[in-house]
Amino acid sequence: MTDRITTGGDIDSYCTRCKLNLEHIVLAMVSGAVVKVKCKTCGSIHRFKGMPAVRPKSPRKEGAAAKSFVSNQALWETAMEGAKGPALPYDMESSYRSGDVIDHSIFGKGVVQKTLFKKCAVLFRDKERILATSNT
């Protein structure tokens, strides 16, 4: 983009009325970013909707995944601290209550978040999983 965008100048934007990318007139800008435009085709005034390519603000996927792992672990630690009683061995023939600690042979310790019919949602260190139980 070599053209300098200024108020009163032209810019391509998605028109919410025409449902197309069309030429618009810039009506308002805030700190260098276009916020309001007027469609040259239909004359409607709306917020600037830039095209996806113009917006380089997508967080890197690895970073997002790592972050979600950390926050899940924090949730899990909080849940484990709040949980009472000894860890119950996981058995799909048993039924559990919300707040119970389950000791799973593969996933480790988890805290029951909610019970459902024939299963319950358990928060493990890495993520929440649905386990089969005999809950009714």
Residue, CB closest to Zn ion: 39
Please say which residue, 41 or 134, places its beta carbon nearer to Zn ion. 41
Of positions 5, 35, 42, 92, contacts Zn ion by CB under 5 A = 42
The CB-of-19 to Zn ion minimum distance in angstroms stands at: 8
DSSP state, 53? G
Interface pattern 11-30 for Zn ion (x via CB under 5 A): ----x-xx------------
41 binds Zn ion (CB under 5 A): yes
Please say which residue, 44 or 71, places its beta carbon nearer to Zn ion. 44
Residue type for position 115: T
First to last CA, the chain: 61
The CB-of-50 to Zn ion minimum distance in angstroms stands at: 15
Can you list the pairs that 79-86 forms with residues at least 24 positions away whose Cβ atoms lie under 8 Å? 79/111, 79/113, 79/123, 80/109, 80/111, 82/111, 83/111
The CB-of-24 to Zn ion minimum distance in angstroms stands at: 8
Please say which residue, 23 or 103, places its beta carbon nearer to Zn ion. 23
Which residues, in sequence order, are CB contacts of 23 under 8 Å at separation 6+? 10, 11, 12, 40, 41
Distance separating alpha carbons of residues 99 and 79, to the nearest angstrom: 8
* Binding-site ranges for Zn ion (CB under 5 A): 15, 17-18, 39, 41-42
